[in-house]
Amino acid sequence: MKKKETVFVCSNCGNEFGKWMGQCSACGEWNSLKEVKSIKLKGESRNNLRRDFLGQREVKKVREIETKNEEFINIISTKIKEFDRVLGKGIVQGSVTLFAGEPGIGKSTLLTQLVGKVGGLYIAGEESAEQIAIRVRRLGLKAENFDIFESNSVEEIEEYLNRVNNLYKIVVVDSIQVVGCENVNGVIGSVSQIRESTFRLVQLAKRLKVAMFIVGHVTKDGDIAGPKLLEHMVDTVLYFEREKNGELRILRANKNRFGPTDEVGIFKMDEKGLSDVRSEDLNLTGGDENKIGSAVTVLMEGTRPVMVEIQALIVESFAPMPRRVFAGVDFNRGQLLTAIGQKSLGMPLYKYDVFISVTGGIKVDDTGADLAILAAMWSSYKEKPLQNPPALRAPSLENGGQKQESPVFVGEVSLLGEVRKVKFWEKRKKEAEAMGRKVVEIKNVKEIK
């Protein structure tokens, strides 16, 4: 007998409740309960399958378990440089990856490119096989090893993959919001469906040793039944996001059982799909001329150095309380650097407005930019472009001299004005050198003068 009822589901932990509460009593999250219509199948356990599965379990002894030497774990390259970088080395056989992101960000595009390059099965729940075929051809991908299975049913997927056993190394399910299981409550896309479908797909992938990518949509407000619920079930969680200035797409690993979580992959989207962004494209400095109020630094995006320009504007203030406006720099850090600038560099900033911005819409959360922020402030205050110290200057040419490149400033500044080296120092230095710039090495901010 079917009985319609409403349940309240926590969008953070997925627990269900009979009544609404301001705070989830299971995970403690506030305002996370959302109302969901559900159809309860009376007398039938939602977890039948889980029980059956548990029934077959046996205790294993470590010495009886054959393990592969780590080097022999099968890793498949995605043939997409930035994708491999985020995963570690590549795709681990039998691993399950949740591929999450807002609708329209490019999840289907990137995974189509993956299957097109490596070969595999694309389970299409949202788009028709024809739509995907059009995309495969338009992106100029190989069509030979690209199979498409249109389905919204976990049972169908299980049946097909069991039948073709080991035919595919890679399977993409696009998306988890549109597949469901027959004997589970709720409509497709509901929390219980998403949870059970994921659980069963993970079991399937492990048993068949296929690498599976499960697409999950997230909405801006972290809507219900989002990938948050599934993170603990899978090996790897990748988030595909838009960088603040909107041009670039960033792939991040939120969880990674087989690799790092601090790497990012950077892509850009054009009519040819998503392409790797090279280091040179990441140079977010506005040219290499020395400008007043501008200083260049090297920030870290994950473990990758990115060169950016910091601009400062120091103007006499007519307000009783001088203004401090920091775009891309943490307000407290900005305040602190302003105070250091006053004390160590002798700028009377108490009567000046201070504006700081970072080019490219990048947000600085790296103390390595301290020195560059102070240098930009100094340059604006003195109305002089920053110069390399004599030792780092390019040799002048006879007739009028060669254009001098602006120096690169990297370092954390202490309250006393001492400059400290920051992590990835060598990497940042190499990046600057690769761009034909030199990192200024000083021990105290006073040396900027």
Residue ranges binding ligand TYD (CB under 6 A)? 101, 103-109, 135, 139, 269, 271-273
Contact (CB, 8 A) for 122 and 147: yes
Residue 36, C-beta contacts closer than 8 angstroms, at least 6 positions apart: 6, 7, 8, 9, 186, 190, 191, 224
By beta-carbon proximity to Mg ion, the closer residue of 108 and 359 is: 108
By beta-carbon proximity to Mg ion, the closer residue of 122 and 355 is: 122
From 72-80, 106-114, 260-268, 308-316, span contacting Mg ion (CB under 5 A):
106-114
Bridge partners of 439?
Answer: 408
Instruction: Tell me how far, at minimum, the Cβ of 178 lies from ligand TYD, in Å.
Output: 12
Q: Answer left, alpha or beta for residue 189, where phi above 0 means left and psi between -120 and 50 means alpha.
A: left
Contact (CB, 8 A) for 188 and 154: no
Residue nearest Mg ion by beta-carbon distance:
108
269 binds, among Mg ion, ligand TYD, none (CB under 5 to 8 A by kind): ligand TYD
101 binds, among ligand TYD, Mg ion, none (CB under 5 to 8 A by kind): ligand TYD
Bridge partners of 3?
Answer: 40
Phi and psi (nearest 5°) for 267? -130, 160
> Tokens 């392409």 — which residue?
275
Contact (CB, 8 A) for 300 and 306: yes
Sheet order of strands, 304-316 included: 294-301, 304-316, 352-358, 324-327
Instruction: Tell me how far, at minimum, the Cβ of 196 lies from Mg ion, in Å.
Output: 22
| Sole binder of Mg ion in the list 11, 32, 97, 108 (CB under 5 A) | 108
103 binds, among Mg ion, ligand TYD, none (CB under 5 to 8 A by kind): ligand TYD
Instruction: Tell me how far, at minimum, the Cβ of 320 lies from ligand TYD, in Å.
Output: 49
By beta-carbon proximity to Mg ion, the closer residue of 108 and 177 is: 108
Phi and psi (nearest 5°) for 168? -110, 140
Q: What angle do CA 104, 109, 112 make, to 5 degrees?
A: 145
Contact (CB, 8 A) for 336 and 377: no
Q: Which helix (H) or strand (E) holds 372?
A: helix 370-382
From 101-109, 193-201, 337-345, 399-407, span contacting Mg ion (CB under 5 A):
101-109
> Tokens 């560059």 — which residue?
372
Instruction: Tell me how far, at minimum, the Cβ of 262 lies from Mg ion, in Å.
Output: 27
Q: In angstroms, rounded to a whole number, what is the distance separating the alpha carbons of residues 289 and 302?
A: 28
Instruction: Tell me how far, at minimum, the Cβ of 94 lies from ligand TYD, in Å.
Output: 25
By beta-carbon proximity to ligand TYD, the closer residue of 104 and 287 is: 104
Instruction: Tell me how far, at minimum, the Cβ of 115 lies from ligand TYD, in Å.
Output: 13
By beta-carbon proximity to ligand TYD, the closer residue of 73 and 269 is: 269
104 binds, among ligand TYD, Mg ion, none (CB under 5 to 8 A by kind): ligand TYD
Query: Is residue 285 a contact point for Mg ion (CB under 5 A)?
Result: no
Query: Is residue 297 a contact point for Mg ion (CB under 5 A)?
Result: no
By beta-carbon proximity to ligand TYD, the closer residue of 99 and 258 is: 99
By beta-carbon proximity to Mg ion, the closer residue of 109 and 285 is: 109
Instruction: Tell me how far, at minimum, the Cβ of 103 lies from Mg ion, in Å.
Output: 7
> CA–CA distance from 371 to each of 20, 104, 278, 386, 441 (Å)?
51, 39, 26, 12, 11
Instruction: Tell me how far, at minimum, the Cβ of 179 lies from ligand TYD, in Å.
Output: 15
Instruction: Tell me how far, at minimum, the Cβ of 139 lies from ligand TYD, in Å.
Output: 6
109 binds, among ligand TYD, Mg ion, none (CB under 5 to 8 A by kind): ligand TYD
> What tokens appear for 417 in the block?
């004005």
Instruction: Tell me how far, at minimum, the Cβ of 174 lies from ligand TYD, in Å.
Output: 7
By beta-carbon proximity to Mg ion, the closer residue of 108 and 285 is: 108
249 binds, among ligand TYD, Mg ion, none (CB under 5 to 8 A by kind): none
DSSP state string for 102-169? -TTSSHHHHHHHHHHHH-EEEEESSS-HHHHHHHHHHTT---TTEEEEE--BHHHHHHHHHHHTTS-S
Instruction: Tell me how far, at minimum, the Cβ of 105 lies from Mg ion, in Å.
Output: 9
- Provide the strand spans (E) within 158-242: 170-174, 211-217, 236-242
> CA–CA distance from 247 to each of 65, 260, 267 (Å)?
49, 25, 9
By beta-carbon proximity to Mg ion, the closer residue of 122 and 352 is: 122
By beta-carbon proximity to ligand TYD, the closer residue of 217 and 428 is: 217
From 57-65, 107-115, 284-292, 424-432, span contacting Mg ion (CB under 5 A):
107-115
Contact (CB, 8 A) for 366 and 299: yes
By beta-carbon proximity to Mg ion, the closer residue of 102 and 418 is: 102
Residues at the site binding Mg ion, with contacts judged by CB under 5 A: 108
